[in-house]
Chains A and B, each alone.
Chain A
Amino acid sequence: MYKYDAIDQKIVDERVAQFRGQTERFLAGQLSEEEFRPLRLQNGLYVQKHAPMLRVAIPYGQLSSKQVRMLAHIARKYDRGYGHFTTRQNIQYNWPELKNVPDILADLATVEMHAIQTSGNCIRNTTSDQFAGVAHDELIDPRPYAELIRQWSTFHPEFAYLPRKFKIAINGATEDRAGTLFHDIGIHTVKDDSGEVAFRILVGGGLGRTPILGHVIHESLPKQHLFTYLDAILRVYNRFGRRDNMYKARIKILVKELGLEKFRAEVEAEWAHLKDGPSTLTQAEIDRVAEHFVDPAYESLPAVDADFEHHLLESKAFARWVERNVFGHKKSGYAAVTLSLKKTGVAPGDATDTQLDAVADLADTFSFGEIRVSHEQNLILADVKKHDLFAVWQRAKNLGFATPNIGLLTDIISCPGGDFCSLANAKSIPIAEAIQRRFDDLDYLFDIGDLAINISGCMNACGHHHVGHIGILGVDKHGAEFYQVTIGGNQGFNGKNDAALGKVIGPSFAQDEMADVVEKLIKTYVSLRHQDELFLDTAKRVGLDPFKASVYDRNVDKDAAKNAAKPSGHAEAEVANV
């Protein structure tokens, strides 16, 4: 992984000093709340329900064991012994004190970490595929380019006060595991006709209030033009993006209002001035960064390991874990392991300091001391020998993160929701837990197969509910928490290019109805599916009606009674602005 040189380190150290000064001036009353707000946000610091929330960047999801131990240390020393991994490869601490934040940042800087631009109207942490560099289906390792983008975007002086936040994701495999279609800019590393690395650039995707899938603005951008082309897009957005209404300020709205062709023409006109200028990437710089991402010292191993095969036959539980939590590796005899942070009863994405320390130990023992974070809020050991999988499983089980549910219904993606977040309309975590408890039969879960449930506590869509196969959105109905359900969303293109936004099935539901609703939807799927057909495929084939019938028919009397008692009840659907 990328290691800072003295210059990288100095920049992060100077940021700590800068933020320390800003915090001191705020606490001394020399900076107003309004003046301090963008400064603290660009350091990942929110003011939340209980305390400030600090969001720390995990650039493109890569961590060393040393860094993970520091995350554990921070959870212990400054927080309540845990952290929350987010859907954008960050970790959030929910209980720090404002006055301690400069010290936390200083601690992070000692392990080459920071909270730079994890919030605010600026270029955010660049995200990528959690299996980058090891995936069996990878075309080009995106990590060197993700790091180059990190450096380009860090303290970019022209784009620190954009109309709204700006998120970039980069993916280099057949399967899109980075959600590039719903980012402000999505990048696919590809090979052009001459076999050179190039980028397919997508623009104007996003979730939130107005979910839109990104459009291809450049099919094959030669790699040396990466920064100048990004500069051109950002400049057009910075100048012409709407600033009069925060709900229409994302680049997706500008692209939509101008139309893709007009927007592309603006970008091309701007780029004509920048192209081949000093910001043109050099091969030397690409090589310098890429050197940090060379393969670790893999052993030459046979594809089949006898012990591993033996354990697979002996232990059904192990075999199940392998089926769901082990991912194919490019290197013979190796595998990538996902440690589930989706154990029933634990908020999705939460990890304790003890678990973090233990993960660091596991990584040191079994995976070259490196850990990845997925946007599905799980942790990954990317380079485990097949021979060691059984030992890893046993240890992970004892530590509470061997739940064999990756990609299954209980691997719920969820924002922190109303329990923590002051933006939320409704809670997310109790909904996730109620659903997990309802589906406690592992055989049934495996029978259902791949199913993504995404829960967001509000329109901001941190739980990416639009792309859940079943999406759940918390809405406020006259001061009460209700949940709108969508079906048919899909985050990746799985090589099929079928990413889609979910469709609202109808009126929203009360919190205590949600486990029933999901159960009915699943029963409907099971009754209608063709052999081996996944939920998503059944939903696509049969449409919304059978699902609607399953959840609304039996509720008719109940609804009528409620509406009679309270005319302004929850009958109106909150229609997502697709």
Chain B
Amino acid sequence: MSNFKIIRDGELVDDDWTLVPTDGDVPATGKIIVPLKLWLSARLLPSDSLNALTARQAPVGVWLDGSDDVSVFADSIATIPLIAINFPKFTDGRGYSAATLLRSRYSFKGELRAIGDVLRDQLFYLQRVGFNAFAVRADKDIADALNALKDFSETYQASTIDPIPLFRRRTALFAEV
């Protein structure tokens, strides 16, 4: 367990998960987030295997890049507690579509975490496409980043967190503004 802070559901919390890097060692205990490749290879092993991953008591999450195909989760999505999408660079927008698909197409209900080059000024959009947790880049002020989640009070399009677009809500909203 680390003292690293993340944003989860709009709050600053201690991160109770350990991120296993590509080709990194899997710790013996605790909640872990493993690379997609490792997760896939473990899943393919027979259930009675001694594979460390499947035998663990603690939950296992999985992380991937925005460029990876999220359809691999289609038939096991309900069993996954956490999916983290890595942004190698904050300007790589593929993770936004990956998140949208995970939430809308595959109905992922667990924690969806943005990792990698995660910065304050992208959080509002990340939140809208369905991320509910953000591991803000370590050199940045995460408390400051929290402010970005409230940059806008209204938005036009449908998205994961507002599945009904503004035009279907407008008449009702107009009275309140």
> A residues engaging B (CB < 8 A)?
5-7, 10-11, 14-15, 18, 22, 30-31, 35, 38-39, 121, 151-152, 154-163, 227, 235, 238-239, 243, 273, 277-279, 281-282, 285, 288
Contact = CB atoms under 8 A, between A and B. Distances in A.
26 contacts: A5-B174, A6-B177, A7-B174, A11-B156, A14-B152, A22-B121, A30-B141, A35-B119, A38-B91, A154-B156, A155-B156, A157-B96, A157-B126, A157-B155, A157-B157, A158-B96, A159-B93, A160-B93, A161-B90, A238-B93, A238-B96, A243-B94, A278-B164, A278-B168, A282-B168, A285-B167
B80 interface: no
B105 interface: yes
A158 B121 CA distance: 14
Contacts of B165: 227, 278-279
B64 interface: no
Contacts of B166: 7, 151
A566 to B, nearest CB: 42
Contact of B154 (A11, A157, A238): A11
B52 interface: no
Interface in B100-117: 100, 104-105
Interface class of chain A by DSSP: helix
Interface of B: 90-94, 96-98, 100, 104-105, 119, 121-122, 124-126, 128-129, 141, 151-159, 163-168, 170, 173-174, 177
B121 A39 contact: yes
Contacts of B92: 161, 243
B149 to A, nearest CB: 12
Nearest to A160: B125
A54 B173 CA distance: 33
Nearest to B177: A6
A125 to B, nearest CB: 15
Given A7-B173, A160-B125, A152 B156 contact: yes
Contacts of B168: 278, 282, 285
A209 to B, nearest CB: 20
A443 B7 CA distance: 71
Contacts of A15: 152
A5 B166 CA distance: 12
Contact of A281 (B122, B152, B155, B167): B167
A342 B154 CA distance: 42
B129 A157 contact: yes
Contacts of A238: 93-94, 96-97
A282 B124 CA distance: 27
B5 to A, nearest CB: 18
A144 to B, nearest CB: 12
A279 B158 contact: yes
Contact of B155 (A11, A22, A162): A11
Given A39-B121, A273-B105, A157 B152 contact: no
Contacts of A154: 156
A278 B154 contact: no
Contacts of B91: 38, 121, 161
Nearest to A14: B152
Nearest to A9: B177
Contacts of A158: 93, 96-97, 100, 125, 129, 159
A7 B151 contact: no
A277 B105 CA distance: 12
Given A35-B121, A154-B156, A10 B177 contact: yes
A236 to B, nearest CB: 9
Contacts of B164: 278
A157 B128 contact: yes
Given A18-B151, A157-B159, A35 B90 contact: yes
A411 B90 CA distance: 42
Contacts of B124: 157
